Amino acid sequence: ESVLTQSPATLSLSPGERATLSCRPTQSDTRYLAWYQQKPGQAPRLLIYDTSNRATGIPARFSGSVSGTEFTLTISSLEPEDSAVYYCQQRYKYTFGQGTKLQIK
């Protein structure tokens, strides 16, 4: 079974800082990931598809990348509205990671 491990579980940063969220699949041949943002009481929103492509309407401060088997979601300069839980997802059985909670101080 292929699992996605997200880290850290919680991240607390200030506005203007850079956030780096990690997602590691146990299956080494995972080539593409998607990233979602979910705010309390809302449905998830697609941020990034195919590892590094921003979805429609997503601000340029959100970016996705991969190095080896580690996938990364970077938010270059945090805004207060970026406070949310972020999930990665892989193609294999559409598996989601357990989420990273990002808190803006």
Partner 1 sequence: EVQLVESGGGLVKPGGSLRLSCAASGFTFNSYMMHWVRQAPGTGLEWVASISLSGNYIHYSDSLKGRFTISRDNAKNSLFLQMSSLRAEDTAVYYCARDSRGFDFDYWGQGTLVTVSS
When the beta carbons of 13 and 85 are compared against partner 1, the nearer one is 85
What CA–CA distances, in Å, run from 34 to 4, 16, 69, 92, 105?
Answer: 12, 24, 14, 12, 26
Q: Say how far apart CA 105 and CA 98 lie, in whole Å.
A: 22
**Least distance CB 43 / partner 1 (angstroms):** 4
7 binds partner 1 (CB under 8 A): no
36 binds partner 1 (CB under 8 A): yes
Q: Say how far apart CA 57 and CA 30 lie, in whole Å.
A: 26
Region from 11-19, 20-28, 45-53, 59-67 binding partner 1, contact rule CB under 8 A: 45-53
| CA nearest neighbour of 24 among 68, 61, 55, 63 | 68
Q: Which of 17, 20, 22, 45 binds partner 1 (CB under 8 A)?
A: 45
**Which residues form the interface with partner 1 (CB under 8 A)?**
32, 34, 36, 38, 43-46, 49-50, 55-56, 85, 87, 89-91, 93-99
